[in-house]
Amino acid sequence: MEILSRLLENKFSDGSIGYHPKARDVRISSLAFADDLMIFYDGKASSLRGIKSFLESFKSLSGLEMYTEKSAVYTTGLEDTNKEDTLVFDFINGMFPFCYLGLPLLHRKLRRSDYSQLIDKIAARFNHWATKTPFFAGRLQLISSVIYSTVNFWLSSFIFPKCCLKTIEQMCNRFLWGNDITRRGDIKVLWQNSCLPKAEGGLGLRNFWIWNKTAEPHTHMDVIC
């Protein structure tokens, strides 16, 4: 990945690829995580040609090539002729929002359709665990470790609507006390009370709403691509 980064920087330095307008001053060319790569460019056909050349050079050196079916170009504010250039270079035209590293990339507030995948994922975990019928202590541990780590990944990136957080709390509380997220009759303690410190009679669980406000980013980044 270090070689990939250096090759790409050389392409930007010699003018083969132009910087994205929002990334020009800070000279951000790309972001890489494992085998995922995001390249930010200026939307010109000449830059796409440079990106294509860079990918071919890296392939000849490493044997690694772009996974065409899972790769796309995301643009905005371009003329139709520039959009058509992406097809010439065998790139797929993508549309927002799209998922990157497990999170949707958005330029607006979360909608129900955006966070529904998180709700579905949590519900699927609870339904799977219910068949194993763990004891209360086991259910508490599963919530505090697995569910909280899953939700934390999202809470640190987005401000959630209260209705979404309430849905997650209800599932957690129903699973904790009744081992079934579809039933509410077995709940013995309000979720807010379960989130109190143990010294105050609670279970020491974190309050999702307070946690989300605490993790709220104080600066907002523009999505550039």
C-alpha span between 38 and 189 (Å, rounded)? 46
Continuous H helices in 65-142: 80-88, 112-130, 136-142
The larger pLDDT score, comparing residue 132 to residue 88, is at 132
Nearest Cα neighbor of 121 from 153, 86, 147 is 147
**What pLDDT digit, counting tens, does each position of 12-60 carry?**
999 999 999 888 888 888 888 877 889 999 888 889 889 989 989 999 9
User: Which region, left, alpha or beta, applies to residue 206 given φ > 0 means left and ψ of -120 to 50 means alpha?
Assistant: beta
> Residue 93 has what DSSP assignment?
B
**pLDDT at residue 170 above 90?**
yes
Residue 174 CB partners (closer than 8 Å, separation 6+): 180, 181, 182, 183, 184, 186, 187
The larger pLDDT score, comparing residue 153 to residue 91, is at 153
User: Which region, left, alpha or beta, applies to residue 116 given φ > 0 means left and ψ of -120 to 50 means alpha?
Assistant: alpha
**What pLDDT digit, counting tens, does each position of 119-169 carry?**
999 999 999 998 887 789 999 999 999 999 999 889 888 888 889 999 999
Residue 90 banded pLDDT, cuts 50, 70, 90: confident
pLDDT for the residue numbered 203 = 93
C-alpha span between 44 and 12 (Å, rounded)? 13
pLDDT for the residue numbered 214 = 84
pLDDT for the residue numbered 142 = 94
